[in-house]
Amino acid sequence: MPVTIPPPVAEHFTDGIRHPDLYLWDAWSFVAPEGDIHLYSLAVSRTKADGSRLTPAERNSFPFHIRHFTSTDDGASWADRGSLLEPRSDPESPDARTIWSGSIAPLPDGRILLAYTGLYELGPEQCFLQNLMLALTDGDKVTWRASTPVLCPRRDWDMITQAGYYLADREALGHSSGEAGGPIMAWRDPFIFIDHEGVINLFFSAKTDPTTGAMGRATLRPEGDGFQLDRLFPPIPLPDSAQFTQFELPKIYRDATLGNYILIGSTCSRRHENQPDSEVEKMMRIYRSASVDGPWQPCGNKGSELTGLDFLFGMTVLRHENQANRLLCMAPYTDVAEADKGLTFAPAFRLDLDLG
């Protein structure tokens, strides 16, 4: 169903981002060489094309776009830069139904790589068939966009399952009722991490069985004007995966102070798609590893849960404040937060990495 994409608003947002025209959720970002912070999120208009209100519960029936904001004062205020990316109009394209979350990162050659989740348009019963897509951008607009996924469960089913990942049978991929009694498929949220050798890694949300979330990993190689899959690694288990069913929106950062790596993710405990939202626990978690290859362990000795961040989900690290050993972060509120906060951004906050 169509919605309009509102143009940028003139006002600057402070104390978070409460956009008058948009619902916002999930976050990723990068810092430009001049120091400006670029923030991106999923977005959909608060009104339908006919002018009636679009409720948060309806939003999966409408196409999303990626919204762009910038800050010149470390997240104290934000300017709306408009839409960066929208679903393609070709009904056969791998991102025709809608687009979901991803990441953005400057490459060693000066280009800026965008990774995102594309969903095929296969009708209401098979509306969650996800695949991993790539594009190039200057930050404000897309300069190149791949026509085919870099990793597609439908096309690459044999390779993906042989690597140890769980996918439903081909005919059931992306079904709205979930996978084998569990929640919907997980093959989304690619996060770009450039390692110390300049290799482009993608870490993403995946599963090892219908109700066990894991993190996927692949590497890319430049080829021509774009990129190709170089290697698909086996799924990466999380040490407390029994506490959740889906591990979403992974983000990895190198801690230059301690010389190790930080993994941040958001988890959901939904057991099946008919489960009431009141029974589902959503939280953000943090892990640490001596190597980007893992193994990953809870960052603090009290576990991986990030406490004191009620109703926040899908955060990004705006900046790593190395000398203070802390992260400057930004996250949106979930749709179950107070009515005036749901699907808006909370103010930027600092996360101490000494979680002992």
Residue range 194-217: mean pLDDT, rounded: 97
Which amino acid, one-letter code, is at 7? P
For residues 46 and 196, the model is more confident at 46
- Cα dihedral 331, 332, 337, 339, rounded to 10, equals 140
pLDDT at 290: 95
Q: Is residue 54 part of a domain?
A: yes
81: tokens are 């830069």
SS3 171: helix
97: tokens are 């139904």
Q: Is residue 14 part of a domain?
A: no
Rounded alpha-carbon distances, angstroms, from residue 352 to 33, 139, 322, 325 = 25, 29, 11, 7
Q: Could you read off the pLDDT of 273-315 as tens digits, one per residue?
A: 999 988 999 999 999 999 999 999 999 888 999 999 999 999 9
Domain that holds residue 280: 20-352
Q: Is residue 1 part of a domain?
A: no
For the chain, what is the total number of helices (H) and then of strands (E)?
Answer: 1, 20
Average pLDDT, the chain: 95
CA angle at 46 for the pair 41 and 51, rounded to the nearest 5°: 145
Which amino acid, one-letter code, is at 205? S
Contact 119, 102 (CB under 8 A): no
Distance (Å, whole) CA 134 – CA 82: 20
Q: Is residue 168 part of a domain?
A: yes
SS3 294: coil
DSSP calls for 28-60: EEEE-TTS-EEEEEEEEESB-TTSPBPPGGGGG
* pTM metric for this prediction: 0.97
Contact 356, 300 (CB under 8 A): yes
Q: Is residue 10 part of a domain?
A: no
Q: Is residue 247 part of a domain?
A: yes
Which amino acid, one-letter code, is at 145? R
Residue labelled with tokens 């002018």? 51
182: tokens are 């569990």
Which amino acid, one-letter code, is at 83? S
Q: Could you read off the pLDDT of 168-188 as tens digits, one per residue?
A: 999 999 999 999 999 999 999
CATH code assigned at 46: 2.115.10.20
258: tokens are 């301690």
Strand order in the sheet with 98-106: 98-106, 112-119, 130-137, 142-145
Q: Is residue 161 part of a domain?
A: yes
Q: Is residue 9 part of a domain?
A: no
The structural domain count of the chain equals 1
pLDDT at 324: 77
